[in-house]
């Protein structure tokens, strides 16, 4: 009998810590309660897995304290029928069954705080293979055969970067992992570090060996405290087991590890800005070339890869590059992890072979839209990406095909939107973000994003002018061409894609002063339906600016000149009598 509680950040936020305590108490110390990381079915958290004496898995979902007690009772009596109503439904099981997990192979299965569990599923055997029987070139060629491309966004071939760093002259080289995960709405890297930190460490060690680096640094986003703790713990365990440090496994290969916590700046996800930040400076990008492979950290040859990129490496070495490249499309090999969120029924982590369609991910795996509303768009690639409309849902997941839509593969954030999300508002949301996060080094990005933000703000406020769309388009082109780094070069994407696919929404805001999604508050008016209002006075009591008047038991009305459109009245009307238009 084995009892395991999922303890990733989302599980803990959903109350998994308390559930573990309740279970511990309820089984009266007869069974230890183990932990695991993120299973990826975040909408079902907290999740408790019980392997019975025949090693059958009973997976309990949305576990409350009462359900935890029921599980404990089932365990103590070995009568699992008692708690079967709390087990995961067959439909929800499909979410995992339809996936192919490589980067996430151990997530939600092993205990991330215990190196023995990683070793027991074959962990560190790829490192042993590399150190005992492969040259640096052998490793690079295996990665080349796999077709692995960078999962941090740009999709650059990993072997090429490794080879360039290897060939750079100099004894002192660095291997860096980019765990800044700046795309708001993406959390695959957090999940890998929290749930399977050793797979990252092993991938990095193999990378360090391939390029000849003696020092490895992981730059982790400051907002991920649990990831930092688990990674720190994993590095210590790996050091004690002889996988990290001097003369690893007696091979003569030496590599030490360090964690550097970021301090909150989106631009530090850009590799040269990240290097500046590692050096203790303002995270402002450098002009390329020279590339980091030539002159990176402390101006020494350096190689930077994303967390998910590294998480694939040990699997590739163990299973061969071809097993990886057998999956996917002509252009994009292997699998990709997506963080599926927003208005989707089943939100969580999805890893699938390249070549599936967006529709398969959002509808087959994600279960479609919450409350069965109408799908409107899916945002991919965060502030550097774009919104893909329903007509392109059959687009195949592949670097080139996604770029052709105007969005990008990005790091894997997939935020689903329904009819209630305003696309102009979405563009403004991202420009607010990039304008704030622009480091200020180059004029195009610093001032260009600001101007775009101003235009978008006036459009959502109903003050848009004829010609604003064209002006936005012109600015977009200029910023794309003129910006120094990827942040500025891609900042126009959210605007360009929404103009391309949802131009009518822009026109409605500018010409008719209407927001079709009914989201832009400045363009809405609140009204009370005289037939539905029974005069309970609830809305008038809740209105913070006393804009609602009327006698008890007779229909009320709203003074639109006073109304601040806060929505309190709608939220508190029990009769559905108030609408916004």
Q: Where are the beta strands (DSSP E) in 343-453?
A: 348-353, 375-380, 386-389, 413-418
Considering beta carbons, is residue 223 or 236 the nearer one to ligand FMN? 223
Q: How far is the CB of 424 from ligand FES (least distance, A)?
A: 20
Is residue 432 close enough to count as binding ligand FES by CB under 6 A? no
Q: Which of residues 153-182 bind ligand FMN (CB under 6 A)?
A: 153-154, 156, 178, 180-182
269 forms part of the interface with ligand FMN (CB under 6 A) = yes
Q: Give DSSP secondary structure letters for 134-175.
A: --HHHHHHHHHHHT-B-TTTT--BHHHHHHHHHHS--S--EE
- Count how many residues are written for the chain: 581
Residue 180's binding partner out of ligand FMN, other proteins, ligand FES, none, with CB under 5 to 8 Å set by partner kind: ligand FMN
Letters for 391-430 (x = contact with ligand FMN by CB under 6 A, - = none) are: --------------------x-------------------
List alpha helices for 212-270, DSSP H: 225-240
Q: How far apart are CA 344 and CA 362, in angstroms?
A: 7
Work out the number of other CB atoms within 10 angstroms of the CB of residue 280: 7
Residue window 482-511: x/- pattern of binding to ligand FES, with contact defined by CB under 6 A: ------------------------------
Min separation Cβ 157 and ligand FMN, Å:
8
The CA-atom distances, in angstroms, between 560 and each of 160, 540, 545, 546, 580 are 62, 13, 11, 11, 11
Compute the distance between CA of residue 294 and CA of residue 529 in angstroms, rounded to an integer.
Answer: 69
Q: Which does 153 bind (CB under 5 to 8 A by kind): ligand FMN, other proteins, ligand FES, none?
A: ligand FMN
Subset of 509-568 contacting ligand FMN (CB under 6 A):
none
Question: Of these partners, other proteins, ligand FES, ligand FMN, none, which one is at the site of residue 269 (CB under 5 to 8 Å by kind)?
Answer: ligand FMN
**What does residue 149 show for φ and ψ, rounded to 5 degrees?**
-120, 155
Smallest distance, other proteins to C-beta of residue 22, A? 18
Among 112, 185, 389, 516, the residue binding ligand FES under the rule CB under 6 A is 185
Q: Answer with the entry of ligand FES, ligand FMN, other proteins, none that 472 interacts with (C-beta below 5 to 8 A by kind).
A: none
If you compute the radius of gyration of the chain from its CA atoms, what whole number of angstroms results?
Answer: 26
Residue 538: phi and psi, rounded to 5, are -55, -45
DSSP conformation letters of 432-499: HHHHHH--SSSHHHHHHHHHHHHHHHHHHTT---TTHHHHHHHHHHHHHHH-SSHHHHHTTHHHHHHH
- The answer to whether residue 184 forms part of the interface with ligand FES (CB under 6 A) is yes
Choose among other proteins, ligand FMN, ligand FES, none what residue 497 binds, the Cβ cut-off being 5 to 8 Å by kind. Answer: none
Q: Distance (Å, rounded) from C-alpha 491 to C-alpha 486?
A: 8
Read off the tokens for 574. Answer: 């029990």
Q: Which span sits near ligand FMN by CB under 6 A: 52-60, 201-209, 266-274, 465-473? A: 266-274
Using CB under 6 A, list all residues that contact ligand FMN.
150-154, 156, 178, 180-182, 267, 269-271, 304-306, 309, 411, 485-487
Using CB under 6 A, list all residues that contact ligand FES.
184-185
């Amino acid at each position: 009998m084995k009892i395991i509680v999922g303890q990733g950040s989302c599980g803990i936020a959903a109350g998994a810590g308390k559930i573990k305590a309740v279970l511990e108490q309820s089984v009266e110390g007869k069974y230890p309660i183990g932990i695991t990381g993120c299973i990826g079915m975040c909408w079902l958290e907290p999740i408790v897995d019980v392997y019975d004496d025949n090693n059958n898995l009973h997976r309990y979902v949305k576990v409350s304290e009462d359900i935890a007690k029921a599980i404990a009772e089932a365990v103590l009596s070995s009568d699992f029928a008692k708690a079967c109503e709390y087990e995961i439904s067959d439909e929800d099981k499909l979410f995992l069954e339809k996936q192919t997990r490589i980067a996430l192979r151990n997530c939600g299965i092993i205990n991330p705080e215990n190196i023995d569990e990683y070793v027991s599923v074959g962990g560190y055997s790829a490192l042993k293979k590399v150190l005992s029987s492969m040259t640096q070139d052998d490793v690079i060629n295996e990665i080349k055969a796999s077709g692995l491309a960078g999962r941090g966004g740009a999709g650059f071939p990993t072997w090429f970067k490794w080879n360039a760093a290897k060939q750079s002259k100099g004894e002192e080289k660095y291997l860096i992992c980019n765990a800044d995960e700046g795309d708001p709405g993406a959390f695959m890297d957090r999940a890998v570090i929290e749930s399977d930190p050793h797979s990252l460490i092993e991938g990095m060690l193999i990378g360090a060996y391939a390029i000849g680096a003696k020092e490895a640094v992981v730059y982790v986003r400051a907002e991920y405290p649990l990831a930092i703790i688990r990674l720190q713990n994993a590095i210590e365990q790996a050091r004690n087991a002889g996988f990290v440090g001097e003369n690893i496994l007696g091979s003569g290969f030496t590599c030490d590890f360090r964690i550097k916590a970021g301090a909150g700046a989106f631009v530090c996800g850009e590799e040269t800005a990240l290097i500046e930040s590692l050096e203790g400076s303002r995270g402002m990008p450098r002009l390329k070339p020279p590339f980091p492979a030539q002159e990176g950290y402390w101006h020494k040859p350096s190689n930077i890869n994303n967390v998910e990129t590294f998480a694939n490496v040990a699997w590739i070495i163990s299973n061969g590059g071809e097993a990886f490249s057998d999956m996917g499309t002509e252009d994009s090999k292997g699998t990709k992890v997506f963080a599926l969120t927003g208005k989707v029924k089943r939100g969580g982590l999805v890893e699938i072979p390249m070549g599936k369609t967006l529709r398969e991910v959002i509808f087959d795996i994600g279960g479609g839209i919450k409350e069965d509303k109408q799908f409107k768009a899916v945002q991919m690639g965060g502030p550097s990406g774009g919104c893909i409309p329903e007509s392109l849902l059959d687009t195949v997941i592949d670097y080139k095909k996604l770029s052709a839509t105007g969005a990008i593969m990005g790091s894997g954030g997939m935020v689903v939107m329904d009819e209630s999300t305003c696309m102009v508002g979405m563009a403004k949301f991202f420009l607010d973000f990039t304008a704030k996060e622009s480091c200020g080094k180059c004029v195009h990005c610093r001032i260009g994003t600001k101007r775009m933000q101003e235009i978008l703000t006036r459009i959502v406020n109903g003050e848009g002018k004829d010609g604003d769309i064209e002006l936005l388009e012109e600015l977009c082109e200029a910023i794309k061409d003129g910006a120094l780094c990827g942040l500025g070069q891609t900042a126009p994407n959210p605007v360009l894609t929404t103009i391309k696919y949802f131009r009518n929404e822009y026109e409605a805001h500018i010409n008719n002063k209407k927001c079709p999604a009914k989201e832009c508050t400045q363009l809405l008016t609140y009204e009370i339906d005289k037939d539905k209002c029974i005069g309970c006075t609830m809305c008038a009591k809740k209105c913070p600016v006393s804009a609602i008047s009327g006698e008890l038991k007779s229909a009320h009305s709203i003074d639109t000149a006073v109304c601040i459109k806060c929505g309190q009245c709608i939220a508190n009307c029990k009769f559905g009598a108030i609408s916004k238009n």
